[in-house]
Amino acid sequence: MKKIDSFNVDHLELEPGIYISRVDTLGDHQLITYDIRMTAPNDEPPIDLDGIHTIEHTGATWLRNHDQFGDEVIYFGPMGCRTGFYLILTDQVSHADILQLMKDMFEYISEYEGDIPGATAQDCGNFEGHSQHWAKYYAKEFLERLENLSDTSFEYQAYNE
């Protein structure tokens, strides 16, 4: 089988940040998949399972309720390797807006105090697998990285040869 494009990114060199993973055309629109890479793969520990689950619930709820961009959100969910998330948006959201959108979302998660959205047996297949503590911790850590992000081209810098 042909190797998929995301496996051609050199995960030994990949730094935390925001990257454009792929662009797909659907009718008259493009769908942009963003790689929201929170930890350095194979260098830092993966995100705690309960923490990543809570970030998923809180982040997806926040994004889909966003006044300006909520209708443009197709998907927000964790990577299997637990080093970050994929965010799929329509082309109605400019690349320039992504950094601020992510800063706002991770700030919200880092300060969130209420019930975890959708964390009930009726709403979630693993409703006990959540940790607001770890979600806030990882959100705060990534927010600091976003504040210092200098490359906003969102292009991967390292590929496998």
| CATH assignment of the domain containing 68 | 3.30.1360.80
- Parent domain of 110: 5-147
Q: Model pTM?
A: 0.94
Residue 137 to residue 128: CA distance in whole angstroms: 19
Domains of the chain: total:
1
* Range 4-18 average pLDDT: 90
Asked if residue 56 has pLDDT above 70, the reply is yes
DSSP letter at 6 equals: G
Q: Lowest-pLDDT range, 7-21, 44-58, 79-93?
A: 7-21
